[in-house]
Amino acid sequence: MKKMKWLLVAMLFTALPLCAQDRKTTISLFVSQVSMDGGELDDAFETELEDGNGFGLAGYVPFNRWLGVEGAIFSLRNEARLVFEGAAPFELGRADLVPITVGVQAHLTGGMRFDPYVGAGAAYVTASDLYSEDLDIVGIGRIDIESEFTYFVNAGLAFDFNEHFGIAVDGRYIPFEPSTQAAAGDEVELDLTPTILSAALRFRF
C-alpha cells in the first residue's frame, strides 16, 4: 500500500514541471490542523479523535484563469481513543493518515491577487496501524486500517504578494471510513474522516 502511495506522489510531481513549461504552476506547502470525525462503533463504543496536525504539499497547474488541476499529499497525525458508554476512555494510539488528492480547482475571481477557490476530486487515503499499550492490555493488539479510495472537497483563499510568492488558507474534507481489523479477526468500520484546515506558502513558477 505504501509503495502505491509514493508511486502516485512521484507521478504527480514528475508531471508538474511538464505542465509548468507554458503555464504558471503553483507549489504550495501546507501546515495543517486536522480534526477527525470519530463516532459510534456500536451501542456501547465510540471513537474519539483529538485535533491533530500535519503538513502537506500540493501542486497546481492551471488550464486557464478559472480552472486548473491540483494534486496534493498530506501527512496527518491524530491521537485516537475508544470511549465506552460515554466515559472510560482508553487509548487507541496515533492515527497517522496520508491522504493523496487529485482534483479540479475553480478560481472564483479568475486569478486576481485575492484568489478564492473551490475544488473537488478523488482521494486515496492510507493510514498506519493503530497501536497503543491499552490495546495490548485488553488483548486487541495492533489494528490494521485498510487504505481506501474516496473523494474530497476543498475551498480556500489565496493572496499573492508578487508574481512568484503568496500565501493561502485552505479547508479540505475527505470522507474516510475504512475497514479495520485486529488480531482476533473481527472487522470494524471506523470513521476517520479528516477535515483539514491549512495555511500555505505558495510558490509560482
Partner 1 sequence: MRRALLVLLVSLFTLPLVAQTGWVRHPGMRLPGQITRDANGIAHIRAFTDFDAAFLNGWVHAEDRLFHMDENRRTASGTLAELLGSAALGSDVQLRTLGLRRAAQLSQLELSPRVTELLNAYSAGVNAWVASHQLPPEYAAIEITQFEPWTPLDSIAVAKLLAFGLSFELDIEPTVALLTYQGAGQVLGINGTALFFEDLWRSQPFNPASTVPDATSTSAIGGEENLEAKEEFLKSIEAGAKSLDPNAVALAAKWVEQLKEIPFFQKILDPELRGASNEWAIAASLSATNQPLIANDPHLALRMPSTFYPIVITGQRLNAAGVGFPGVPLVVQGHNERFAWGSTVNPMDVTDAYQEQVVPDATSPSGFSSIYRGAREPLAPIPQTFRANQLGNNTPNDLVVVPAAGSIPAATLIVSRRNAPIVSLDFATGAAVSVQWVGHGPTRELETFAIWNEAGTLADFRRGLEFFDVGSQNWIYTDIDNNIAYFTSGEMPIREDLQAGAVQGLPPFFLRNGSAGGNDWIRLTTPRPATQASSYQILASSEMPQVINPARGWIVNANNDPAGTTLDNNPLNQLRAGGGIFYLNAGYSGFRAGRITQLIRAQVAANQKFTIADMQRIQADVVLLDAQYFVPFITRALANAKASSVPALQALGANPAVTEAVNRLNGWDFSTPTGIPEGYDAADVNGTLSAPSSAEIQHSIAATLYSVWRGQFIKNTIDAVLGAGNLPRPSSANTVTALKNLLDNFDTRGGAGASGVQFFNVPGVPNNAQTAPTRRDILILASMADTLTLLASEGFAPAFNRSTNQEDYRWGKLHRIVFAHPLGGPYNTPPAGGQFPAPLAGLTGIPVDGGFEVVDASSHNSRANTLNGFMFGSGPVRRMVSEAQDARINAVTSLPGGPSGLVASPLYINLLRPWLTNEAFPIDIGQRIVLPWGTR
Stretch that binds partner 1, among 38-46, 62-70, 152-160, 170-178 (CB under 8 A): 38-46
With binding defined as CB under 8 A, does residue 141 bind partner 1? yes
Q: Does 51 bind partner 1 (CB under 8 A)?
A: no
What is the chain's alpha carbon radius of gyration, rounded to the nearest angstrom? 19
Write out the binding residues for partner 1, residues 86-115 only, by CB under 8 A.
86-90
In angstroms, give the least distance from the CB of 140 to partner 1: 5
**53 scored as a contact of partner 1 (CB under 8 A):** no
- The answer to whether 89 touches 83, Cβ cutoff 8 Å, is yes
d(C-alpha 45, C-alpha 63), whole Å: 47
**Hey, how many other C-beta atoms are within 10 angstroms of the C-beta on 115?**
19
**Alpha carbon distance 108, 48 (integer Å):** 36
Q: Determine the Cα–Cα distance for residues 205 and 186; give it in Å rounded to an integer.
A: 50
Q: How many residues bind partner 1 (CB under 8 A)?
A: 27
Q: Give the one residue of 26, 105, 180, 193 binding partner 1; rule: CB under 8 A.
A: 180
Binding to partner 1 (CB under 8 A) within 68-87 occurs at 82, 84-87
Say how far apart CA 120 and CA 112 lie, in whole Å.
21
Contacts with partner 1 by CB under 8 A lie at: 41-42, 44-45, 82, 84-90, 134, 137-141, 143, 180-186, 188
